[in-house]
Amino acid sequence: MKDFYENEADEVIRKACEAAEEAEAPEMPEEQMPGTEEVQAEEVQAEAETAEESETPEEAAAKAAAAAAMEEEGTKDPGKETKGSGKKDPKDQQIEDLKDQVRRNLAEFDNFRKRTEREKAAMFDMGAKNVLEKLLPVIDNFERGLDNVPDDPEAKAFADGMEMIYRQLLKNLADAGVTPMDCLGKPFDPNYHNAVMHVEDEEAGENTIVEVFQKGYMYRDTVLRFSMVKVAN
């Protein structure tokens, strides 16, 4: 009996000690208990696998397309977004303004160059016409002198020399762009002819030049001197 009671006493003491140890140990929170996170991860993975098995091919394709679109948006070029938003870098705007200014300056300079060339050509033509117009009376005097050469042999040699000078002068005028007008027997044109006399002539056509009193000349495409003519009515 004594041994029985001793064993019972030891068992009671042991249980009391275990109860005291459990009371002293702090209770561990549920989330910090070992093995809880692993169990939750396994449950989530199992649910995902179940969802993947239950989804249709159309749903899977839609999810894949959405994922690709999100990835493309994430890797989009920032410069393109800035361009699409309408905002421009101030440096790019300044470069465009400078380029536009350079183009405008070049165009203005080209117009100035062309205008200057036209003015220079017009001034040259005006000066040349003034000089050439003063030479025309000299040509007229040569022609009058050659038309009235006497039949004297000594005068003939002198007239041949004058004719050579006259032809050389005409050649130089032709090289400068001066040409005489051939208007005898042609219709009267007030743009080239100056009618100083009218005559009734049935043989000549109406408004036809029948006589030239003073020869007219052209300088390139302009009239250097009008022809002085007689016109038949």
At residue 20, what is the residue type? A
Q: What is the pLDDT of residues 108-146, one digit of tens each?
A: 999 999 999 999 988 988 888 899 999 999 999 999 988
CATH of domain 179-233: 2.30.22.10
pTM of the model: 0.51
How long is the chain? 233
How many alpha carbons fall within 13 Å on the CB side of residue 205? Answer: 7
DSSP code of residue 68: H
CB 231 within 8 A of CB 210: yes
What ranges do the domains of the chain cover? 179-233
CB 162 within 8 A of CB 138: no
Instruction: Decide if pLDDT at 179 tops 90.
Output: yes
pLDDT band at 164 (very low <50, low <70, confident <90, very high): very high
Strands (E) in the chain, as ranges, are 178-180, 193-199, 208-214, 217-219, 222-225, 227-232
